[in-house]
Amino acid sequence: MRENRLRTLWQRHEAALCAWLTIPSSFSAEIMVHTGFDCFTIDLQHGLIDYQAAVPMLQAISTTEATPLARVPWNDPGAIMKMLDAGCYGIICPMINKVGEALAFTDACRYPPQGIRSYGPKRATMYAGDDYAAAANDTVLAIAMIETAAGLANVDAIAALPGIDALYIGPADLSLALGRSQRTDQTDPVLVEALEKVLAATQRHGKVAGLHTATPAYARAMIEKGFQLVTVASDAAFLEAEARRIVAATRGEGGANQAKGPY
């Protein structure tokens, strides 16, 4: 079966750089995947991408060794299984608040007897290889988002589940849930403590911690802390930031805008 580069990096205790794909275009995805990121997350929760747009984007990702991930709209088994059948090597599931929800999520990601995933990998077999069905349970990643007060309270129990491979922090929603200002690169002590709590839970249970960031400096700092899946902004953010920089530089206004983090 085709290698899941994220698993390889994590087994070597290395961090993976991820970029968020929010523009429903196979061509913009193709441009992005040739820039050197380790993995790309197609965002079907927020933004403009639906299943019909996601499939050609997955085909674009296939032109490199980057790992294809998807954030599904919700903890819906049908949506999870469909994206896996399309060739995603990992699913990021939003708003995981308790153990029961995490179990439902991991069940949808695994074939029996480990889970309830229905067989029909379609494009996944073409992408991954003829042995997909036999190897998928050990290759596909189940990544639960921790972005609510309830999720944070139950983080240790969620991290302990065998089917969970990683916990991924949504800092914007978590900030709001904890009564703080919505930000991506958080320095608020309340959020810093929350990030450290999630990271500690993953380290206790041999799992990986992931996080949205907006700037390279903050991303590097989080990697140094121990986060092994770090998203550095999105395709739309990169496009906007560079366009603004070019306009400002051409007009002699100076100053470069930072890319905004993915939402």
Return the active site residues. Answer: 46
Which residues does residue 148 pair with via DSSP β-bridges, in sequence order? none
Q: Other C-beta atoms within 10 Å of 99: how many?
A: 14
Short-list 158, 42, 50, 43, CA closest to 105: 158
Contact of 83 with 90, CB cutoff 8 Å:
no
Kindly state the greatest CA–CA separation across the chain.
63
- Residue 144 near residue 165 (C-beta atoms within 8 A): no
Sequence letter at residue 215: T
Q: Which long-range contacts (CB under 8 A, 24 or more apart) does 80-85 make?
A: 80/105, 80/108, 80/109, 81/108, 81/117, 81/118, 82/51, 83/44, 83/51, 83/54, 84/109, 84/117, 84/121, 84/124, 84/136, 84/140, 85/120, 85/121, 85/122, 85/123, 85/124
Bridge partners (DSSP) listed for residue 40: 19, 68
Query: What gap in Å lies between CA 79 and CA 70, rounded to an integer?
Result: 10
